[in-house]
Amino acid sequence: MVIAAPAHPPDSLRALFLDVDGTLLEIAATPDGVHVPPYLIDLLQRLHEMHRGALALVSGRPVGQLDELFAPLRLPSAGLHGLERRDAAGGQVRTAAPQVPAELWARTRRCLTDFCARNAGTLLEDKGGTLALHYRQAPEHEAAARRAVAGALAQLGDDWQVLDGKCVLELKPGAASKAGAIAGFMRSAPFAGRVPVFIGDDITDESGFQYVNSLGGHSIHVDEQANGAGHTCARQRLADVAAVHRWLRELRERK
């Protein structure tokens, strides 16, 4: 059974990894509709200092977009589900991705854009290295969206996969994962040797939960259900974004 998040190791021994949408921020109707409460930026800054830099954002958004959302902070960050990463020293790391001919990529994007034009309420988000088809505002088009993305995947080939999120289907390189991103952070200072704590809310976070569990860390699923054990390998639970914020404030106050 998934239980409430327990007490954690002292901050000097802990590495904190945080998903963004659905974890730190309430999910919005569109990706650019999210709201970042000013107090959250201050809270993250204090926690970053408290953990001596061992705090990172691990998100499906590009790293540059994370910087815009949380400005003026420039935290260690993994973007595009691990495809890109900025380490604690500011170094840029990019997961090796399959090379897609420009013509094929343009054709794939055009097919999905045409799908959105035909199906009101759907939205294609081109993140550069990935393509995300959102149907949150048009759940009646889910089946058609799945068919469209499956067709696009067949064109891109076996090195690509569909990441099935909350009302979004994302085409991404199979080699990129949040597990790989967290592992990359854990290989270098200030994360190395610490106990990892990862908080996430979605299927897209499951690989990260699995990796953190393998290290004996703390995996925390954000889920409004009383018991999320049927669909997550996370071992602890927080109810919603507000609960995540409370938990982080309590963490800061334990200093």
Return the active site residues. 19
| Dist. CA 143–CA 224, nearest whole Å | 25
| Dist. CA 218–CA 232, nearest whole Å | 13
| Dist. CA 50–CA 34, nearest whole Å | 27
| Dist. CA 207–CA 163, nearest whole Å | 11
Q: Which of 139, 178, 149 is nearest to 59 (CA)?
A: 178
Using an 8 Å Cβ cutoff, are 238 and 222 in contact?
A: yes
* Axis-axis angle for helices 102-118, 142-156 (nearest 10): 170
Q: How big is the chain by its Cα radius of gyration, in Å?
A: 18
> Which phi and psi (to 5°) does residue 155 adopt?
-75, -35
| Dist. CA 99–CA 114, nearest whole Å | 24
